[in-house]
């Protein structure tokens, strides 16, 4: 949990919470991430990746306050991040939840497709694969032509799985940080994941806990805390709620993902109690003093941080009119913090999706870097980096719409995760441009989605922003 050491002045943005070092948890605040991402991308384009800019990457004591803006977070302490301009979820019928469990979707195959063996010879002209986890040394294979029926069939199945919130194993990546070999991710060493739960009952009351830590004793916040090694995301959420509120719970859906670069990521869930006894002052301990239900419009004071107001409102809106399908993490291991892109271009009810061709055709994966140059821009830097490698971005508008799925399994010391994200690519001045932008090189191509059900799903989710929001 977190402690608030500075009051918000009239010019400051709402702060988000976790816990500072002394509180043994995490909270985050504002940065100029969007502007920073563009600036750092220009540096990457100029061949300056990995260089420092001369400023000191300070680690603010509580991870908030004006001096934290632009600071590179440490996974061992609290890291700052801004949360403003939260959108109101648009209306869509919520489907059945994708339950947390081991994803059974298979990686794209196609070794035996027409012309595959002949195409293997072309691999000499293809950049080498950048990362192959142990035991997957045979991953690289033939490159299928964009028009190959097998490629189209496999891509349709992959896209359907991702749109359905299911998981796909990460076996390689298409773009990695320049001058940096991605290190394996380890909780409390180079990453910090935080879980937070929002509970609303039938009386429109929200569950809050009263902090016990010295620096923030007596203040109120939502149940939250850091994940521990070898925990799943759901297990961490249930443990924190039990410790702080005394209740057993079931997560209903992921509501939001907040990040300060790959080193600090917070998962916000809408949840419901399933048992236990609400913690009273008699059960006060080092985790919390007590827990209680309070009217959503009349919360107790003082609050530990005001970022929870956005999250409570987001949960109330979702309960009233779901803005995206119910979504829970899929338990699949990953060695890196990475993103699988459903990068789309649309024109007159037609959708194209960017596809990687190294190995079998697949949805591109970009690995997040931990160097300061990438941390400052947030995880969107990895998206922009991959797109810059195959597209001319200066005349394009790129937007990450949100999350389609989340994959993680920390049981075997694989603390990485994969975010399946929906991205739009459009011309800044569309004019009569009805075709997607030209792709440079041979490692990517635009796949025209012709399957009517997939096309309608994509268009609906794009038009209604039917995704889990990231940093909004």
pLDDT at 69 over 70: no
Confidence band of 27 (pLDDT split at 50, 70, 90):
low
Confidence band of 38 (pLDDT split at 50, 70, 90):
very low
How far apart (Å, rounded) are the C-alpha atoms in residues 221 and 239?
16
Contact 419, 401 (CB under 8 A): no
Residue showing tokens 């002949």: 118
Question: Hey, what are 455's tokens?
Answer: 């096309």
pLDDT tens sequence across 122-147: 333 333 333 333 333 333 333 444 44
- In sequence order, the β-bridge partners of residue 402 are 422
How confident is the model at residue 109, as a pLDDT?
33
Indicate the average pLDDT of the chain: 77
pLDDT at 304 over 50: yes
How far, in whole angstroms, is CA 384 from its chain's centroid? 15
Measuring CA to CA, how many Å separate 324 from each of 88, 217, 466? 11, 36, 4
- 125 phi, psi to nearest 5 deg: -95, 0
Confidence band of 55 (pLDDT split at 50, 70, 90):
very low
pLDDT tens sequence across 412-462: 878 999 999 999 999 998 776 789 999 999 999 999 999 999 999 999 999
The pLDDT of 212-233, averaged and rounded, is: 96
Q: How many CB atoms lie within 10 A of CB 209?
A: 26
Higher-pLDDT residue of 65 and 337 is 337
Question: Hey, what are 101's tokens?
Answer: 């469990």
Of 165, 93, 96, 37, which is closest to residue 468 (Cα–Cα)? 165
How confident is the model at residue 257, as a pLDDT?
98
Of 461, 464, 240, 259, which is closest to residue 380 (Cα–Cα)? 259
How far apart (Å, rounded) are the C-alpha atoms in residues 377 and 153?
36
Residue showing tokens 């799925």: 405
Which residues, other chains included, contact 454 with Cβ-Cβ below 8 Å and sequence gap of 6+?
A: 156, 159, 160, 163
How confident is the model at residue 433, as a pLDDT?
79
pLDDT tens sequence across 241-299: 999 999 999 999 999 999 999 999 999 999 999 999 999 999 999 999 999 999 999 99
Its pTM stands at 0.74
pLDDT tens sequence across 159-176: 999 999 999 999 999 999
Provide the sign of the torsion angle of the four alpha carbons 282, 283, 288, 290, taken in this order: negative
What's the CA angle centered on 200, arms 196 and 204, to 5 degrees? 145
How far apart (Å, rounded) are the C-alpha atoms in residues 44 and 178?
8
The pLDDT of 69-80, averaged and rounded, is: 40
Residue 33 DSSP one-character state:
H
How confident is the model at residue 385, as a pLDDT?
96
Confidence band of 338 (pLDDT split at 50, 70, 90):
very high
How confident is the model at residue 229, as a pLDDT?
94
How confident is the model at residue 434, as a pLDDT?
86
């Amino acid at each position: 949990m977190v402690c608030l050491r500075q009051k918000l002045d009239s010019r400051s943005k709402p702060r988000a919470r976790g816990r500072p070092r002394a509180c043994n948890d995490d909270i985050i605040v504002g940065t100029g991430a969007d502007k920073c991402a563009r600036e750092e991308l220009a540096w990457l384009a100029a061949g300056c990746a990995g260089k420092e800019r001369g400023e000191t990457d300070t680690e603010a004591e509580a991870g908030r306050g004006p001096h934290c803006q632009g600071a590179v977070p440490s996974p061992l302490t609290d890291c700052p991040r801004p949360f403003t301009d939260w959108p109101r979820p648009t209306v869509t019928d919520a489907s059945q939840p994708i339950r947390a469990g081991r994803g059974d979707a298979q990686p794209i195959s196609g070794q035996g497709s027409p012309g595959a063996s002949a195409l293997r010879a072309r691999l000499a002209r293809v950049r080498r694969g950048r990362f192959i986890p142990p035991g997957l040394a045979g991953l690289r294979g033939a490159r299928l032509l964009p028009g190959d029926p097998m490629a189209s069939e496999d891509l349709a199945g992959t896209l359907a799985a991702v749109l359905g919130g299911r998981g796909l194993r990460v076996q390689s990546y298409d773009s990695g940080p320049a001058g940096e070999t991605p290190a394996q991710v380890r909780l409390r060493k180079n990453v910090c994941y935080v879980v937070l739960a929002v509970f609303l009952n039938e009386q429109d009351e929200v569950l809050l806990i009263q902090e016990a830590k010295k620096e923030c004793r007596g203040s109120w916040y939502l149940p939250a805390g850091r994940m521990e090694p070898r925990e799943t995301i759901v297990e961490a959420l249930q443990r924190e709620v039990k410790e702080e509120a005394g209740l057993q719970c079931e997560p209903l859906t992921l509501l939001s993902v907040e990040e300060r670069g790959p080193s600090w990521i917070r998962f916000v869930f809408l949840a419901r109690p399933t048992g236990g006894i609400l913690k009273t002052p008699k059960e006060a301990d080092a985790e919390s003093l007590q827990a209680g239900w309070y009217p959503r419009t009349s919360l107790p004071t003082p609050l530990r941080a005001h970022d929870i107001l956005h999250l409570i409102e987001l949960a109330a809106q979702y309960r009233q009119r779901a803005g995206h399908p119910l979504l829970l993490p899929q338990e699949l291991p990953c060695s890196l913090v990475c993103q699988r892109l459903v990068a789309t271009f649309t024109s007159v009810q037609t959708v194209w999706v960017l596809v990687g061709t190294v190995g079998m055709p697949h949805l591109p994966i970009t690995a997040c870097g931990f160097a300061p140059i990438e941390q400052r821009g947030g995880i969107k830097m990895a998206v922009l980096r991959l797109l810059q490698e195959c597209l001319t971005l200066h005349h394009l508008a790129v937007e990450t719409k949100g999350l389609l799925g989340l994959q993680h399994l920390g049981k075997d010391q694989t603390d990485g995760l994969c975010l399946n994200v929906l991205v739009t690519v459009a011309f800044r001045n569309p004019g009569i441009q009805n075709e997607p932008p030209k792709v440079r090189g041979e490692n990517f191509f635009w796949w025209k989605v012709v399957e009517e059900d997939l096309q309608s799903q994509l268009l609906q989710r794009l038009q209604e922003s039917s995704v889990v929001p990231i940093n909004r």
